[in-house]
Structure 1
Amino acid sequence: MKTKIFIAIMALALFAACKGRNGAYEVVNNSINADTTGAQSSAADTVVTEPKLVKTANMSFKVKNVQQTGDSISHLTAKLNGMVTHHEMGSTVERSQDVRLSDDSVMRVSAFNTTADMTVKVPSEKLEDFMSSVSHMGIYVTSRKMDIEDKSLDYLAAKLKLKNRSEMVAQQKTGKIKIKDPAAVLWLKDNMIDGQINSQKIDQAVNYSVVSLSFYQSNTIYKERIANDDPSVYKMPFDNRLLMALSNGWFLFTELMLGLANLWMLILLGVGVWVAFKTFKRKYPALKV
């Protein structure tokens, strides 16, 4: 008895939930149930005829010349009807030393390394050929990796959802379903667009594989003769410096004489005081000052 009461309560709850879920729209024609059943059966018959395999790969390797290898990879990608989506190359100075050649010039010796990163898209059926050709461009391969992800179920789910939404919009246009909230119609159409974009993204990922490449070369030594940037080394020869010192000494002497000439009154007064003191001391030797 208790089991029958529990089943009856669960049935009533399920009926109320379904009624509340369908509150956003109302059925105008009872034939929609048959249409919905037919749509579900036709959607179930929709299958992906071929697997949707998304291939990605990456490789790290050492080369003789980074710039030449980057150009070769770009040409190979174009030859295979692919596209380079990212290319970055940079050099970093690890050590540097200046060797003095003369007072005004030095030889700068620098050791720097050069690396590059590239991201390319190539047709998936040519991925193996591309990876093999690129690996032969390097001295040796540090790492090489390829992943394959099956997107068949995701693609099928997107297609089925898009078909169901398309049928609902068609029924709304013919009046079989009346959606009360206009925002719900707009959301449904936007969701259909998102589904189409996602399907196209999967198709594009299946048709073109993304390959990430990272390559580098041995450290390069570069020598260049540059001007000495130390101001203290820029001095005149000894003879010129001696003549300038004598000239500066004569200039200081003349300035001193001119300074004394400006003080002639004080000098004369001092001489007069000194003479008067000597005369007074001579006349009165017994007096103590």
Structure 2
Amino acid sequence: MRPSLYYLMIPVLGMCACSAHHMSPEEKAYAATADSTTFSNDITSINSPSRKRVKSADARCRVPSVFEATSKLERLVTSLGGVVVESSLQNESVQQYQLPYSTDSIKSIQLYTPTANLTLKVPVERLDSVDQSLTAIASFIEHRVIKDQDMTLKYLANAMKNEQHEVKTAKEEIAAERREKIAAKRAPSATVNVNTTVSPANEEASQNAVAYQDQKDDAVIDRRINNLAILDDVAYSTLTIQLYQPQVTDVQIVLNPAQISRAGFGTELLSAVKNGAEILRNILLFFVQIWPFLLAFLLGWIGYRKLILRRS
């Protein structure tokens, strides 16, 4: 007797489901926080502590010294239990001049603006402390934006979808066990063929079913990861800060490459004589190359003069 397609899929789906049991208890407990639909407080209130509120800030400020302000913010964030995600300093060149200074040197003047870009993550309760410190060290605030996004409904939607998926999976497993028991009672044990072959159509259908199940499992994992990211953003605020300072002038006295690499007078004189001879040679060769045009011009001029004399 050839078993049905459904019973061929049960072992495969069971193997896929068993992969979730390889996580440690700590990993399972951490992942379970992404699927929790219970809240300790009433979320109907906009100021409920159970709401998933994500706070972030963005600012651009002028400071007296970019390096000192950057170092101060980095130390502050670290002391508050935060993390410096990114910190980059650079000098944006504005203008550059090169002026004569002496016979063999020049004065190089460069105008540049030091800037710093910071991405910081701090505990949400410490966001105000960092903001106040930034305001204190800034001499001019170009802009400052503080956002407070409510991600409660998005978090709850992902958790409810995952919970619904688990309920459906449990019901399907129970129904599959019942059908398997009924089929085992109806089928005589003596007629069961162990080396049962599967047709190409059944094999393709089985592969499609496994792929569909994998897609649903991946969707569950994606929703769970999104919820964990929301919880992380709720606990730690992200600050994006750009610092700059007034233009700085950098003056350097450097050797003039043109003067250093210049040859001596005798060498230059000899080179000038050779260059003149080369120019004269090229001119002579040029007139030699165009002798047909010169001859035609000469004959034309003679003919023109004769014609003028005859008329006169």
TM over 0.5: yes
Structure-to-structure mapping, 1:208-219, within 5 angstroms: 208-219=236-247
Distance across 1 between alignment mates of 2:261 and 2:267:
20
- Determine whether 1:143 maps to 2:143: yes
TM-score by length of 2: 0.57
**Contact preservation (8 Å) 1:104, 1:233:** no
- Determine whether 1:183 maps to 2:211: yes
Residue-by-residue CA offset, 1:84-121 (whole Å, 9 max, x unaligned): 22222221222222332322212212221111211111
Structure 1 counterpart of 2:238, one-letter code: V
- What's 2:252 paired with? 224
Structure 1 counterpart of 2:224, one-letter code: Q
Q: Once the 2 structures are TM-superposed, how far is the Cα of residue 233 of structure 1 from its aligned partner? A: 8.4
- What's 1:57 paired with? 57
- What's 2:94 paired with? 94
The correspondence for 2:229, drawn from 201, 208, 211, is: 201
Unaligned stretches of 5+ residues in structure 1 = 1-44, 250-289
**Contact preservation (8 Å) 1:63, 1:137:** yes
Whose Rg is larger?
1
SS of 1:88 mapped into structure 2:
strand
Distance across 1 between alignment mates of 2:162 and 2:168:
10
SS of 2:101 mapped into structure 1:
strand
Alignment length (residue pairs): 199
SS of 1:218 mapped into structure 2:
coil
**Contact preservation (8 Å) 2:90, 2:114:** yes
- What's 1:170 paired with? 170
Task: Return closer, same or farther for 1:243/1:71 CA change in 2, 3 Å cut-off.
Answer: closer
Structure 1 counterpart of 2:154, one-letter code: D
Task: Select the structure that is richer in strand.
Answer: 1
Task: Return closer, same or farther for 1:245/1:112 CA change in 2, 3 Å cut-off.
Answer: closer
Q: Once the 2 structures are TM-superposed, how far is the Cα of residue 196 of structure 1 from its aligned partner? A: 1.1
Distance across 2 between alignment mates of 1:119 and 1:150:
22
**What is the percent sequence identity of the aligned residues?**
23
Structure 2 counterpart of 1:62, one-letter code: R
Residue-by-residue CA offset, 1:6-39 (whole Å, 9 max, x unaligned): xxxxxxxxxxxxxxxxxxxxxxxxxxxxxxxxxx
Task: Return closer, same or farther for 1:199/1:103 CA change in 2, 3 Å cut-off.
Answer: same
**Contact preservation (8 Å) 2:104, 2:259:** no
Task: Return closer, same or farther for 1:168/1:135 CA change in 2, 3 Å cut-off.
Answer: same
Most deviating of 79-88 and 58-67: 79-88
**Contact preservation (8 Å) 2:107, 2:252:** yes
**Contact preservation (8 Å) 1:97, 1:110:** yes
SS of 1:174 mapped into structure 2:
helix
Task: Return closer, same or farther for 1:169/1:102 CA change in 2, 3 Å cut-off.
Answer: same
SS of 1:166 mapped into structure 2:
helix
TM-score by length of 1: 0.62
Task: Return closer, same or farther for 1:173/1:105 CA change in 2, 3 Å cut-off.
Answer: same
Unaligned stretches of 5+ residues in structure 2 = 1-35, 41-49, 180-205, 274-312
Structure 2 counterpart of 1:168, one-letter code: K
- Determine whether 1:48 maps to 2:76: no
- What's 1:20 paired with? none
Q: Once the 2 structures are TM-superposed, how far is the Cα of residue 129 of structure 1 from its aligned partner? A: 0.9
**Contact preservation (8 Å) 2:55, 2:234:** yes
Structure-to-structure mapping, 1:71-150, within 5 angstroms: 71-150=71-150
Distance across 1 between alignment mates of 2:157 and 2:144:
33
